[in-house]
Structure 1
């Protein structure tokens, strides 16, 4: 400047940007920014009620003092008997939702929620009712389905029942049938209904006729036993254990065969197949170092109706005299005599 000095320099000051505004709320004056201490006034369209503070103040930190009020366009619905709802307010804004519930001992019949509409009313317009003559939705059980289906029958009349069915891989503990009792409560006659991880009924014997351990619950770790009746020879595993992936073994078969007996020490039984058909024989022999007991029976035949090899106790292998002699005199420091 002519005087040789600078003009006053600009300053940076805190301001507030647009104030917070809820749906349908108007704030005035409308500016691009607001100076510290400036006040805006809120209002609502005709027909709705302002809920909250009607003014807001710009603070020194550039923030507004409070959040926006709301414009309530729906009046609170009436309370009816044992029916209550939340939240309870003097007015409700567009799209606000209330949730209905009943006093203890009563069941809600109807839609549990309603929302404030642009028509200044809640929808659905018909409030639910509270009844002590119906039961609420059937209690859910993990791993189970039930009838009636709650999607089509949300309320069950007193005296009626619901039936649980455990899904595949689960077993039932407790009662599969529960009853809607007086007061609108479900009654469990055998305690809580639970579907535990387990197995379905063990598969039956399909080759021949036999039995398997009876039961309705087969939790993981449960073991069942098979037995044959006709034919009497069980081929396969007589036991099966329930695991997380199902039964450990397939069902055995009941066949018209004889099972190969377990040989005594050093005895060789031929053939080596686990089962021997009717009319076929097995033979008993010994290795070259032994002799078959001359009082034994060197051959047995599979016959009906027993289907069992009765092996004599004399079917043994005796050490030969020659081997016995060698073993006796082939000791350290001695010369074998042969």
Structure 2
């Protein structure tokens, strides 16, 4: 049979504690420090000291909203209990679409950010270009995009335009005409551009008159007579014994010049055409001339049209024979 374990007994001295030993002295709290993006609620924001046991409430500042957690804090023995409130920026969300325009958000749609409104080409904005996200949503009214308009186009001397109106919309076209027999110099039509002006520049009415054709050794065969206005045409042909250089038909252009230049005959004095190509003279065309009686040839009788549009060798010349020409030949 086992013997019972030994029992040890300790003697503790008797301690006498007074009631005052368990009293914790109350202590006021200083002004609480708010967390990010929050403020004290109500009149507490103006106080500097808070008695022990005071409870204060924090709320999110303007432009921010609660993302969870309690905003209540209690003063206890000079310290404030932790604040669990979380504040985040308010989101205004996307704006409604702008007809004939576009909205961009350079940063985001959060409180303090801006939206930028631009109008399509040919439209102008009525209202503010930028709108700011505020505490209660987007501030200012959404602008509208109106079609660009032009006033009447420039009037021109001796001319008119149509249609005639007080106002024209973007891309609307106006056409000019000249009075009498004058010619439009420039674009006959202009259009209302996005900046409210007409482009290109308005034309002018001018009197185009080409000089009367005066071509040696050529004859008129068709086209305009007496009056040579813009786009008038004349056609000539060379007389017998002469060849054409250039084109037979020319047109009077806006600058008062014939285009292409009026034809010319190869005016070889005292020579006659004997064989070869006729107008028009293209690459490798040939012409042959001979001098008339009493004249001697300087150069070659036959020339070829080269790639550069020049005769090679140059067209011959016919010089009058000297009185002793035959004597010189027989002596040689």
Q: TM-score, normalised by structure 2?
A: 0.34
Q: TM-score, normalised by structure 1?
A: 0.33
